[in-house]
């Protein structure tokens, strides 16, 4: 998958576990040099470790809900992960699957479904105004020439 370097948003779903945990969606993605990194925020501050493809990741924050920056190899495919929660009497590693919905990938700051149509509307409206001004100037000049 080739995506230009930059910051993006993508819808994210979580499957597995007890069903009580969730992740914030949309998730932030950073693409740099062809590498895609997702910022995954859990619905709890009690996650202290994630395992993705055998690699261990620690939270990147100390306040609020746990946030992890993990690699993303593909979209629309379940990404098996494990997350350790400390919310129980002792830490438990829980299996989940994350799915990044490739159809929702968009530049950061651009709302879902934004297609650039508003920009096109402004371009057309501007062109119409310009055409009107040119036509008025031509008709005015033609009127002066006939006198």
What are 68-99's pLDDT values in tens digits? 999 999 999 999 999 999 887 888 899 999 99
Same domain, 99 and 126: no
Percent of the chain with pLDDT over 70: 76
Closest C-alpha to 23, from 98, 79, 75: 98
Per-residue pLDDT of the chain (147 residues; tens, 9 = 90+): 678 999 999 999 999 887 888 999 999 999 999 899 999 999 999 999 999 999 999 999 999 999 999 999 999 999 999 999 988 788 889 999 999 999 999 999 755 554 444 554 544 655 566 666 666 666 777 766 666
Q: Residue 60: inside a domain, yes or no?
A: yes
Percentages of the chain per state (helix, strand, coil), in multiples of 5 = 20, 45, 35
Q: Residue 143: inside a domain, yes or no?
A: yes
Same domain, 19 and 75: yes
Q: Residue 1: inside a domain, yes or no?
A: no
Same domain, 53 and 22: yes
Residue 62 belongs to a domain with what CATH number? Answer: 2.60.40.1850
Domain coverage including residue 130: 115-147
Same domain, 25 and 72: yes
Q: How far is CA 65 from CA 16, 78, 86, 99, in A?
A: 19, 23, 13, 20
Domain count, the chain: 2
What are 93-106's pLDDT values in tens digits? 999 999 999 999 99
What pLDDT, on a 0 to 100 scale, did the predictor assign at position 2? Answer: 76
């Amino acid at each position: 998958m080739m995506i230009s370097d930059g910051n993006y948003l993508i819808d994210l779903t979580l499957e597995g576990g007890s069903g009580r945990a969730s992740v914030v969606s949309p998730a932030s993605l950073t693409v740099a040099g062809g590498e895609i990194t997702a910022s995954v925020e859990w619905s709890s501050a009690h996650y202290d470790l994630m395992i993705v493809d055998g690699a261990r990741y620690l939270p990147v924050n100390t306040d609020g809900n746990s946030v992890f920056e993990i690699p993303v190899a593909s979209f629309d495919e379940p990404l098996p992960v494990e997350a350790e929660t400390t919310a129980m009497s002792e830490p438990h590693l829980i299996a989940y699957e994350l799915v990044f919905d490739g159809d929702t990938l968009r530049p950061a700051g651009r709302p879902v479904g934004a297609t650039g149509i508003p920009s096109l509307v402004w371009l057309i409206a501007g062109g119409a105004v310009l055409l009107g001004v040119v036509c008025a100037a031509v008709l005015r000049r033609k009127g002066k020439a006939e006198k």
